[in-house]
Amino acid sequence: MKPTFTVLGCAAALWLMAVPSRSAESAAPPVTKPNIVFILADDLGYGDLACYGGTHIKTPRLSQLAREGVRFAAFYASGPECTPTRTALLTGRYQQRVGGLECAIGTGNVGRYDDAIRLREQNELGLPTSEPTIARMLNEAGYATAITGKWHLGYEPKFAPHLHGFERTFYCIGGGMDYFHYLDNVAGYNLFVDGNPVRREGYFTDLATDEAIRFVREQRECSFFLYLPYTVPHSPYQGPADEQLDPLPLDSPLWNQSAAPPGVYAAMIEYMDLCIGRILDTLDELGLRDNTVVVFTSDNGASRAGSNAPFSGHKGSTNEGGIRVPAIVRWPGVLPAGSVSHQVGITFDLTASMARIAGVQPAEGKPFEGIDLLGHVADGKPDIDRTLFWRKPRGKSLWSGVREGSLKNIGKRDGDRFDEFFFDLASDPAEQENLRDARPADFARLKQRYDDWEREVRADRRGQPED
C-alpha cells in the first residue's frame, strides 16, 4: 500500500517539533514530504552500466540501487545532447517551447543554430527566469533546494540557477571542463556559486559530492530536493588519479569526446559510482532512506567513447543509442524493489512525478507534458503506448524523431541531403532494417504526426519561426 504523506514545509515541520504535546500518548513526530535526490550523469550510455548488461565497467552501487528500486528498460532522454534534456527536466515540457535550447550551448556561450545564434546576439541564450522550474515549485512548497554539479543552461549571471529556485548552488557553467583546474577547452573558468566564480581544489566529482552530502546533512530535518548533475563521463577524460600541476592543454586529445582511453573512461564512471554510494550511505546514516526518492539517469546516450549496446547510434543522434538511457529509481515501500519496467518514459515524466510527490501543480498555461511515471509504476498499471518527439538542429544539420507505440521515424538532414528511416522497435531495437518503403502508410502517418508537433512547438519560440 502506498503511504500517505503529510504536506509540511521545513519551517512547519520544525515548528511542530518544538510544540509540546498534551500527552506522551498523543505525541508523534511530524511526517515531512518525501525528499528527492536526482542524480544525472553526463553522456552515460545504456550499455555502460553493469545492471544494463555492461561487462567492462564496475558499478556496484548503481547495481545495488537497481536491486532496491525499479530499473527502466525503455527510458529516453528528452534530447540527444545535454542542454535540451536539462531544459526539459527543469521545465517539465519539451525544450522546443523555451527557444534556443534545442542544441547544447557551445563552449564559451556560442549559439549553434538559427534561433540560438539570434538569442546569443541579444545576450538571451539561456533558460529565462520567466520559465517555471521544478526547483522553484518545490522551493515554494517548502522544500530546501540545491544544485551541485553541471548547469549548462546559460553563461550569463541572469540565467544562474539561484534565480531558478535553487537555494544552494555549486556548479560548472558550461559543457565540460578540466576536472582539477576547472577551465574549459577555450580556457574559460567554469566553477561558480550563485553566478560568481569561486576557487576550489580537488577532483570535481568529489567536490560536487561533498557539497551534496553537506546539503543533505544540513537539511536532514526538512524536506529537500537535491539535484546532482555530474559531469561524468563527459570529456575531458580524466580519472580521479589524473591530476597534473598545470591545466590540461587546449589541444590535448583528452578533450575529444569520441576518443576516451578505455581505462580512464571506466575509472571516471566507477568513481562516480563510488561517490553515489557515499550519497546513499549518508541517507542511511541519517535515517532518511525510507522517505527519500533517489533517481538516477543520463542526459543523453554515450559518445563514441562509451557503449550504447544493444542499440545503434551515439550522442547527438536520434537513433536509440543517442536517446535511450539508463534510469533507476528507488522509493522504499512505494516502488517494487528489484523490478524492471518496460513502460516507455522520457525525462520530463520524472518532472511530473516529482511534482506529484511534492503536491505541487504546474504553472497556469504551461502544463507538464509528461506522465507521472513513478505513480504509474507504483500503482502497478499496465504499460501504455506513448507518442514522443525529438528534434535537434546544429548548423546545417538536423536530427528528428518520433516514436508511436513500437514504431519510430528518424529524419537526418545534413546540408542538402535528407535521409528518412522507419523502424519497428519491437522486432528491431537496434534499428537495422529500414521499413520506410515496406510500410509506407505507417511511415507517412508518423511523419505527419511529427510535422504537426514541430509546427506547434516551434510556433512558441521567441522570434519568428522558420519557413
Catalytic residues: 82, 152
**Grid cell at residue 90:** 527543469
* Pairwise CA distance, residues 334 & 341, whole Å: 14
Whole-angstrom CA distances from 275 to 84, 165, 287 are 26, 25, 19
296 exposure class (CB count in 10 Å sphere: 0-12, 13-18, 19+): buried
* Pairwise CA distance, residues 347 & 331, whole Å: 18
Distance separating the N- and C-terminal Cα atoms of the chain: 53
Q: What is the amino acid identity at position 216?
A: V
CA 366 to chain centre: 20
**Grid cell at residue 248:** 590540461
3-state secondary structure 318-347: CCHHHHECCEEEECCCCCCCCEEECCCEEH
* Pairwise CA distance, residues 350 & 192, whole Å: 27
3-state secondary structure 376-432: HHHCCCCCCCCEEEEEEEECCEEEEEEEECCEEEEEEEECCEEEEEEEECCCCCCCC
Task: Provide the 10 A C-beta neighbour count for residue 28.
Answer: 8
Q: What is the amino acid identity at position 326?
A: P
Residue 178: name the closest of 129, 236, 243 by CA: 236
Residue 117: name the closest of 348, 377, 467, 461 by CA: 461
* CB contact set of 60 (below 8 Å; sequence gap of 6+): 50, 273, 277
DSSP state of 132: -
